[in-house]
Chain A
Amino acid sequence: MIQCKNVYKNFADKTVLSGVNFDIPAGEIFGLLGPSGAGKTTLIKILTGQLSFEAGSVKTLGKNVEILTGEDKKNIGIMMDEFGVYERFSCVENLQIFADIYGIPHSKIKETLKMVGLQDAMRKPAMNLSKGMRTRLQLARVFLHSPKLIFLDEPTSGLDPQTMKSIHKIILEKKETGVTIFLTTHNMEEAAALCDTVALLNEGVIVEMGAPQEICRKYNHQKKIKLHLSSGEDLELKHGKESATEISRLFEAGIIETIHSSEPNLETVFLELTGRKLQEDA
């Protein structure tokens, strides 16, 4: 669905993206994880044809991004943090404009607003919506024309955990319909919960890429098993044959309360690879 080969992008004398490579198959949620200023938004702009690039090649929907036609763009939905809504218009009026542009019957507007949980705020002017509701409205605008490929730039940034969860649910429901989703985030929990593949981007370079669990397993250098016993005692055992007898004994004694492996999360992997935190600015 998207192929990005050795892409370079400079702003003045600063290199913003350096040799970026990835391939996103159809129906996948691909997460671009990185701190603010890593180049995530720039990459979305390149992949959607909003920005040119110095070197490399980008194919979106199987076509070179430079030659995407209006018809191709109808199969793409983009939600960027900086994109606005018509403040004085209600949710329905906001979507009517785009329904007319895409030639979609107005009956689909209510259906889409219901999908994102805005059915009770349909007539509310956008200026009176909370940040979470505004994000839902932007999502509704993206989903309205049923695109095959969706770009979401930090879709849950600044939202409360409950709203974040409900938006995750909407995104996963969309994935079930076969839509390919490219999302950027600096929230590692979000990336782990939603993405089939994540790429860790730091200063314009992809430093690691793969399934979130695979990445975490790959950087599991400690290889330890942590046990919490009913006595309150915590034990750390080596992840190997030599611990099997001990764990088996403790199980038989029925004194193990919890048992965990010591895999790192994406945040720790990112810190190990770059020396930076994903949410250092948050």
Chain B
Amino acid sequence: MRNILIIIKKQIKDTIKNKVVLIQFVLFPVMTLIMENAIKLDGMPDAFFTKLFSVMYMGMAPLTAMVAIISEEKEKNTLRVLMMANVAPWEYLAGVGIYVWTICMAGAGVMATGLEKENILFYLLIMGLGFVISIVLGGCIGIFAKNQMVSTSLVMPAMAILSFGPMLAQFNRTIEKVAKILYTQQISVLLNKMSFDKGIGESIIIIMINAAVFIVLFFIAFRRKGLE
């Protein structure tokens, strides 16, 4: 547990210095604040930009942050130094994962300011669940990628599908049908319902299947490659 806290502390210290990761964390919350306050059109659904950007934030920030952090440590060989200092691989991954989740939740907290008070808890619960799945997927890619270049080429398509799939699904029925299998699409559906009692069972099942698939993939990747 001590090593996990040390990794979290290290990452928090690095947040201000690591501009690539910092932009990922800050971009969508700031954009949401600006757009929600600057653009108000007749007939626009409530918290339109909050819901739209929340799904994009979920598909991008935790994924790229996880991959960027792990692959940089692998490439610079600082990860090996940590392992030699007796930090277990799972402690490292847990530390980075908890850090990314916490920062993303803080970002979601900022984005939630555009919502009705009674919806905030539901919103944060759903976002928290989505961030966990993105973090697991990011961890998978980080473990598989040998270096930052490979990780970028792996994370870009995943990020594009998860972030833009739900957005494009709003305009095209075929994309909507395909995107249905994505957890981000189901999160988008849940955010539009914004309630526990409006037939959310199907969405929750699909999200859980996504989570199970990525967790299995994560363990396969971890058993095969570890963090070497």
* Interface residues, chain A, with chain B CB atoms under 8 Å away: 48, 50, 70, 73-74, 78, 82-89, 93, 97-98, 100-102, 141
Contacts and interface: CB of A to CB of B under 8 A. Distances in A.
Given A48-B84, A83-B77, A89 B13 contact: yes
A73 B3 contact: no
A193 B87 CA distance: 35
B80 interface: yes
Contacts of A50: 80, 84
Contacts of A82: 77, 80
Contact of A141 (B9, B13, B81, B86): B81
- Among B76, B77, B85, max chain A CB count under 10 A is at B85
Nearest to B78: A84
B153 to A, nearest CB: 22
Contacts of A93: 13
Interface string B67-96: 000000000111011101111000000000
Contacts of B80: 50, 82-83
B10 interface: yes
A84 B77 CA distance: 5
B87 A88 contact: no
B86 A70 contact: yes
B178 interface: no
A89 B17 contact: yes
A89 B14 contact: yes
B86 A86 contact: no
B5 to A, nearest CB: 8
A84 B9 contact: no
Contacts of B2: 100
B76 A98 contact: no
30 contacts: A48-B84, A50-B80, A50-B84, A70-B86, A73-B84, A73-B85, A73-B86, A74-B86, A78-B84, A82-B77, A82-B80, A83-B78, A85-B76, A85-B78, A86-B10, A86-B78, A88-B14, A88-B17, A88-B18, A89-B13, A89-B17, A93-B13, A97-B6, A98-B85, A101-B6, A101-B85, A101-B86, A101-B87, A102-B85, A141-B81
Interface in B170-218: none
Nearest to B72: A87
Given A74-B86, A82-B80, 18 more contacts: A48-B84, A70-B86, A73-B86, A84-B77, A84-B81, A86-B10, A86-B14, A86-B76, A86-B78, A89-B13, A89-B14, A97-B10, A100-B9, A101-B6, A101-B85, A101-B86, A101-B87, A102-B85
B223 to A, nearest CB: 17
A91 to B, nearest CB: 14
B83 to A, nearest CB: 8
Contacts of A78: 84
A280 B195 CA distance: 72
A145 to B, nearest CB: 8
Interface in B1-37: 2-3, 6, 9-10, 13-14, 17-18
Contacts of B76: 84-87
Contacts of A74: 86
A87 B20 CA distance: 14
A83 B85 contact: no
Contacts of A98: 85
A88 B6 CA distance: 17
Contacts of B13: 89, 93
Contacts of B18: 88
Contacts of B78: 83-86
A159 B80 CA distance: 24
A82 B3 CA distance: 23
A100 B6 contact: yes
Contacts of B77: 82-84
Contacts of B82: 101
Nearest to B19: A88
A98 B78 CA distance: 11
Nearest to A138: B81
A102 B6 CA distance: 11
B3 A101 contact: yes
Contacts of A84: 76-78, 81
B11 to A, nearest CB: 11
